[in-house]
Amino acid sequence: MDAPHREPIPPDLEIRTEAPDPIDSDDSDLGRPLSTPPAKTPVPPNRLVVLGDSLSQGFKSGAIHETNLAWPALVAGQMGWAAFRCPDFPGPAICPGQPLNIEALIRAMEARASRLPLSFGREMVTLTEVLVQIKEYWEHGPGSENPSNSEPNHNLATWGWDLGDASKKSLAWCQTQVDSGWLGGLRGLKSPIVAHSQERSAARTLWNDKLKPEDTNQVSAAKWLGDQGEGDQPGIETLVVELGANNALGSIISLEVHWSGDGFDDIGEKARRGYNVWQP
């Protein structure tokens, strides 16, 4: 059996075999002095803001559905902060979430099978019917409409996004991918799964009435929230950035390392194709 192909390690990348020394609590400011706020400093209006990927958005069973059970919403609840905003993905009723809620899909098929004799052909018909309802809901039904929230969400995490996407993929870019003309529609017809589901999820997460679509991304939305403090006070109490896993996730799946080269900082899929580990 041939050994797996291994690309040479970039010369400017230092790999160590020993674990780094733990950071002492006195050095947890990363070497930057932090001022202690006055005792009577007002609590910022946005107590928790999160930039991240599927780990923070609440991805489970192949879909984003119950974002109120994602860890940011749970932490906000423990803080006693009921004003925490996160996107919702409520429908369709038979199989809610994006792109495909596997658990709900199986339960829907089980419910129908309990009323009818088991048959492979019948199960395939049921599967097709459910997929058609999901696709119709998100591409042409209530799921295709813009959310009602006027201000940016506090949980801005989007499944599948990496470090570069947070500042480069705007709401306008996502909407362009969804509304990519007849060619995009043709692409969607080829698949029973919702077309451009990642961009649809991102657009639903980034939507707000305060920023222009072309100026709205995870970073700019967080900055707007940070500017909402009283006077010169910060608008965010705690900012969490959980990004970077998708910059190397491909190497875990393929068990091969393909270091990034020219074009990896481009948000287009073609420019990134072939790379699975981001080299800054």
Q: Where are the domains of the chain?
A: 51-245, 248-280
pTM: 0.84
Pairwise CA distance, residues 67 & 159, whole Å: 12
Of the two residues 249 and 124, the one the predictor is more confident about is 249
* pLDDT score at 65: 93
Cα–Cα nearest to 57, from 171, 158, 163, 147:
158
| pLDDT tens for each residue of 206-228 | 999 999 999 999 999 999 999 99
pLDDT exceeds cutoff 90 at 123: no
Q: Tell me, what's the pLDDT at 38?
A: 67
- pLDDT for the residue numbered 120: 64
Q: What is the mean pLDDT of residues 239-248?
A: 94
Q: Which region, left, alpha or beta, applies to residue 41 given φ > 0 means left and ψ of -120 to 50 means alpha?
A: beta
pLDDT-derived band at 41, boundaries 50, 70, 90: confident
Contacts for 117 with CB less than 8 Å, ≥ 6 apart: none
Residue identified by tokens 């075999």 is 17
Query: Comparing C-alpha atoms, which of 61, 70, 140 is closest to residue 108?
Result: 61
Task: Read off the pLDDT of each residue in 144-168 and give the average, rounded to a whole number.
Answer: 94
Q: What is the mean pLDDT of the chain?
A: 86
Question: pLDDT by residue (tens digit) across 62-88?
Answer: 999 999 999 999 999 999 999 999 999
